[in-house]
Amino acid sequence: MRFGEKIKSLREQSGLFQREIAAELKIDTPMYSKIESGTRKAKRQHVLQLVKFFRLKEEELMSIWLADQIIDLLKEEKYGQSGLLIAGKDLYPSNNVWQ
């Protein structure tokens, strides 16, 4: 699940309108709409505000937000999978899933 879908489902579960979340983030409704649809990227600060607002664990939203950016980076790339594994090995060598 991409970041936009995630916050959309959180919002709908809470029975809130975009306007209310947008106000919380101090952005206008069109901007928030674009974040939900994935045509604009949320700022890190917005993610943290949403974590507090929806009372989530930071990792739950941050990891999806980061994944989103990686997906955007690799989605048209032929060698994305190799790149991902190399990055994983470099950053988190103690995890042996990267081979």
Partner DNA sequence: TATAATATTGTCAAAAACAGACAAGTCAAA
Partner DNA sequence: TTTGACTTGTCTGTTTTTGACAATATTATA
Residues that bind a copy of itself (CB under 8 A): 2, 58-59, 62-71, 73-75, 77-88, 90-92, 95, 97-99
What distance in Å separates the CA atoms of residue 33 and residue 24, rounded to the nearest whole number?
14
Task: Give per-residue burial for 72-96: e unless 16+ CB within 10 Å, then b.
Answer: eeeeeeeeeeeeeeeeeeeeeeeee
Q: Please give the residues from 33 up to 62 whose contact with DNA meets the rule CB under 7 A.
A: 33-34, 36-37, 39-41, 43
- 27 sits near DNA (criterion: CB under 7 A): yes
Residues that bind DNA (CB under 7 A): 17-19, 27-31, 33-34, 36-37, 39-41, 43
